[in-house]
Amino acid sequence: MNQFSSYYQFFSHVWILTKSYWKSEEKKSAYALLTGVILLTIAIVVMLVLLNQWNNTFYTALQEYNTTVIFNELIHFSWLAVLYIVFSVYSFYLQQVLGLRWRKWLTAQYLDRWLTRRTYYRLQMFGTETDNPDQRISEDINLFVTKTIEFTIGLIKAVCVLTAFIIILYQISGTLDFTFMGKVWHIPGYLVWIAILYAAAGTWLTHRVGHRLMKLNFIQQRYEADFRFSMMRMRENAESVAFYGGEKQEHHIFQRRFMILLDNFWKIIQKKKQLIWLNSGYSQIAIIFPFIVVMPRYLTKTISLGGLMQVANAFSKVQESLSYFVDMYVTLAEWKAVVDRLTGFNEHMEKILCEEKENKNVEQSFADNGLELFHFDIHLPNGVPLLENITLHFTAGNNILIRGASGSGKSTFLRAIAGIWPYVSGKINRLPREKTMFVPQRPYLPLGTLRQVLLYPGETKFPDDILVQYMSLCHIAYLSSQLDVAADWNHVLSVGEQQRLAFVRIFLQKPSWIFLDEATSALDEDMEAYLYQLLQTQLPKTTFVSVGHRSTLTPFHSFILTLHKNTRNITMEATER
Ligand SMILES: Nc1ncnc2c1ncn2[C@@H]1O[C@H](COP(=O)(O)OP(=O)(O)OP(=O)(O)O)[C@@H](O)[C@H]1O
């Protein structure tokens, strides 16, 4: 891809990411804030023009020892400076407010899409292309908004400054007359052309040195996130690592990831060093350059000291705004990296949603009275069949126990029934989501108080006596004094306690169907039997489907479903009661 089409693609990605906010319900306030920022930017440019003219008057007065004008001009300068400061402060403030509102809106959109139709789950389980979605949402959106505003306003300012000062420079630079190849040349406004040539040379050089920075910055973010993620994972599994004594292994993993990160960072430092060489040399020369160019006219007294100072100031403004791209190079590189990451994230979420919508191989409907499968197949993500041609009917009131060798597909079968496993084909009559509850082996305990953990994911509030009643039925009454204590309950409670807590959730929410995936594996057989009896007495109208290895579970179920790994089929037989 050539440079032009890659920039075209980049700006079209920026537009795709940007337009949704500017067409949203918040567009009025967004446009009002943007207009405010633009007006203030123009006001700042007007101040710069007035300050430029001030240069001429003030330095001419200095040269002429004109005390009255010098004094007046100092007062004049104070006014200009005060206005300049006020405009700059409010321009910054409105930009921040705009950025804040935009980020708030965009984050809500991304969170929505990430959580809709279990995209987060599918990205995690099957998506290899998007790394660290949390970083995309927390950091990248912020960076994108900040950099887009910064770049746009910077560009507007550069264009305004450039237009105003090119006119000024053109008017005051005079004509350059010289003889070349026996011919007399007149170049009106020659300083403008020199400034353009100077800035073009700088931009070209910077691009040559800095273009690799974009790619390096892009991968740096990924390496940083990978390094952070590896430590986060260890923190989540601190106990297992401590039991295994896996610190050395973990240290190696951290070290390896950190070295990759450092290696790339080193390359960034090298590139930035080259850029700083270039940029500082370039901007230092820019201070003296206009004096050198105009000096012959000053020495021949064609212009005054004021004129010289004004030309130097105007030249530096033209050159500064033309070199905007030079100064923005690093920012542009980071901005591009952020845009690429957010675009990639968007595309993968989109792809996942499309895949789901486009899965024409599965025909699904919803019915209250039972779960039905007709010629239903379940595949692995790589297309290898796991279970084939399943035809089953689970009727309400008939509890079912699912068995099979490890890896035969019991959990995947439950995932397919729950509708979260996308690699399926055939016909399925699903149970309504609000009437079913899936209980995994290790229940998820969100961050928050114990009360919030118990009610998850329901929103109904229950009085304390009901909560305590079910907690004592499930033998965790001793935790009832901590209902309002916020903790990382995942680490505080034992797995057995967590599994009993999951039963409290069942009793509070009273689903019509419960799917239990080894939900009592950490409990002793007596406790397991007690909880199953409790299910039958407390929720007599509820049907449960369990995955479990213990034969002691058999008496609580009417049918046993066996998954056969070799033949990839399922058989169902009635239990003897
Ligand atoms: N996200 C995934 N990507 C690829 N393969 C997967 C994925 N999830 C599960 N599998 C594969 O599907 C097969 C069935 O896994 P599943 O967890 O359903 O077995 P299981 O019968 O519940 O096993 P166990 O009794 O050991 O819990 C396994 O071979 C597993 O490796």
Domain hosting residue 519, numbered range: 362-574
Is the pLDDT score of 577 beyond 60?
no
Query: Is there a single domain that holds both residue 269 and residue 308?
Result: yes
Which pLDDT band, with edges at 50, 70 and 90, does 435 fall under? confident
The SS3 of residue 383 is: coil
Higher pLDDT among residues 368 and 164, named by residue: 164
Average pLDDT over residues 395-411: 89
Residues 353 and 386 reside in one and the same domain: no
Based on the fold, state whether residues 333 and 370 are members of the same structural domain: no
Q: Report which protein residue has its CA nearest ligand 1's atom 28.
A: 407
Same domain, 345 and 391: no
Top pLDDT among 46 and 3 is at 46
Please state the separation of Cα 577 from the chain's center in Å: 55
Of 406 and 1, more confident: 406
**Among 357, 389, 410, residue at a domain's last position:** 357
Among candidate residues 307, 340, 357, the one where a domain is terminated: 357
Distinct helix (H) and strand (E) counts, the chain = 18, 14
The helix/strand/coil state of 202 is helix
Rounded to two decimals, what is the model's pTM?
0.74
Among the listed ranges 86-95, 99-108, 422-431, which one has the minimum average pLDDT value?
422-431
Task: Tell me how far the alpha carbon of residue 548 lies from the centroid of ligand 1, in angstroms.
Answer: 15
Question: Three-class SS of residue 128?
Answer: coil
Q: Tell me, yes or no, whether 397 and 315 share the same domain.
A: no
Whether 354 lines ligand 1, by a CB cut-off of 6 Å, is: no
Q: Is the pLDDT of residue 229 over 90?
A: no
Are the beta carbons of 39 and 158 closer than 8 angstroms? no
**For 101-105, which contacts have Cβ atoms below 8 Å and span 24 or more sequence positions?**
101/26, 101/29, 101/30, 101/33, 102/21, 102/30, 102/145, 102/149, 103/141, 103/142, 103/145, 105/21, 105/24, 105/26
Whose Cα sits closest to atom 24 in ligand 1?
A: 406
The DSSP call for residue 511 is -
pLDDT score of 170: 87
- Of the given ranges (163-177, 469-483, 537-551), which has the lowest mean pLDDT? 163-177
Helix (H, G, I), strand (E, B) or coil at 54: helix
The predicted-structure confidence for 170-200, as pLDDT tens digits, reads as follows 888 777 777 888 888 888 888 888 888 887 8
Helix (H, G, I), strand (E, B) or coil at 572: strand
Of 459 and 515, the structure prediction assigns the larger pLDDT to: 515
Task: Give the mean model confidence (pLDDT) for residues 260-287.
Answer: 88
What distance in angstroms lies between residue 223's CA and the mean position of ligand 1's atoms?
Answer: 29
Neighbours of 507 (CB within 10 A): 18
Asked whether the predicted pLDDT for residue 576 surpasses 70, the reply is no
**Residue 203: predicted pLDDT:** 78
Q: Distance between CA 428 and CA 393 in Å, rounded? A: 10
Write down the pLDDT at residue 330. 64
If one counts the domains in the chain, the total is: 2
**pLDDT at residue 209 tops 80:** no
Alpha carbon of 372 to ligand 1 centroid (Å): 22
Which of the four pLDDT bands, split at 50, 70 and 90, describes residue 327?
low
Q: What is the pLDDT of residue 131?
A: 67
Whether residue 411 is found in the same domain as residue 481: yes
State mean pLDDT over 241-258: 89
Same domain membership, residue 404 and residue 262: no
Nearest to 283 by CA among 205, 217, 383, 335: 205
Indicate whether residue 406 lines ligand 1 (CB < 6 A): yes
User: Which span out of 316-325, 395-404, 467-476, 558-567 was modeled with the highest average pLDDT?
Assistant: 467-476
Candidate from 124-138, 300-314, 360-374, 482-496 with smallest mean pLDDT: 124-138
CA distance 306 to 53: 9
367 has pLDDT over 90: no
Task: Tell me: pLDDT of 91 over 70.
Answer: yes
pLDDT at residue number 284: 85
User: What percent of the chain stands above pLDDT 90?
Assistant: 37
For position 569, what pLDDT does the model report? 80
Judge if 144 and 226 occupy the same domain. yes
Which of 238-242, 319-323, 374-378, 470-474 is the least confident region?
Answer: 319-323
Computed on alpha carbons and rounded to an integer, the radius of gyration of the chain in Å comes to: 35
- Of ligand 1's listed atoms, the one at least distance from the Cα of 518 is 27
Please report the pLDDT score of residue 196 as a whole number: 83
Token pair 């004592």: residue: 472
CA of residue 304 to ligand 1 center, whole Å: 85
At residue 224, what are phi and psi to the nearest 5 degrees?
-60, -45
- Give the span between the Cα atoms of 97 and 517, in whole angstroms: 48
| 483, 486, 490, 493: CA torsion to nearest 10 | -40
CA 142, chain centre distance (Å):
8
Cβ–Cβ under 8 Å, residues 55 and 113:
no
- For ligand 1, what atom is nearest to the CA of residue 126? 1
Tokens 């505080």 found at: 492
pLDDT-derived band at 129, boundaries 50, 70, 90: low
What's the average model confidence in pLDDT over 348-368?
78
461: Cα within 13 Å, side-chain hemisphere = 3
Q: Is the pLDDT of residue 61 over 80?
A: yes
Residue 306 is encoded by which pair of tokens? 């004021």
Domain match, 386 and 420 both: yes
Percent of all residues in the chain with a pLDDT value above 70, rounded to a whole number: 97
pLDDT category of residue 3 using cuts at 50, 70 and 90: low
Average pLDDT, the chain: 87
Atom index in ligand 1 nearest the CA of residue 547 equals 22
255 shares its domain with 383? no
Pairing state of beta strands 486-487 and 559-564? unpaired
Same domain, yes or no: 150 and 203: yes
Tell me the three state secondary structure of residue 31.
helix
Tens of pLDDT, residues 94-104: 999 999 999 99
Dump pLDDT digits (tens) for 488-511. Answer: 888 889 999 999 999 999 999 999
Cα separation, 501 vs 164, in Å, equals: 71
Show which of 337, 357, 377 is a domain's final residue: 357
CATH for 480: 3.40.50.300
Task: Indicate whether residue 441 lines ligand 1 (CB < 6 A).
Answer: no
**H or E element, residue 280:** helix 247-299
ipTM: 0.96
Q: Check whether 332 has a pLDDT greater than 80.
A: no
User: Highest-confidence range of 224-228, 279-283, 349-353, 493-497, by mean pLDDT?
Assistant: 493-497
Residue 1 has pLDDT above 70, yes or no: no
Same domain, 339 and 366: no
Which of the 8 DSSP states describes residue 140? I
Q: Phi and psi at residue 312, in whole multiples of 5°?
A: -60, -45
CATH of the domain at 309: 1.20.1560.10
Binned at pLDDT 50, 70 and 90, residue 565 comes out as: confident
Question: Would you say residue 105 has pLDDT above 90?
Answer: yes
Return the SS3 of 166. helix
| pLDDT confidence band for 276 (50 / 70 / 90) | confident
Q: Is the CB of 407 under 6 A from ligand 1?
A: yes
Both ends of the chain: CA-CA distance in Å?
A: 71
Q: Work out the number of other CB atoms within 10 angstroms of the CB of residue 487.
A: 15
Which residues does residue 373 pair with via DSSP β-bridges, in sequence order?
392, 428
Token readout for 7 is 């920039």
Judge whether 409 and 462 are in contact, CB under 8 Å. no
Secondary structure (3-state) at 459: coil
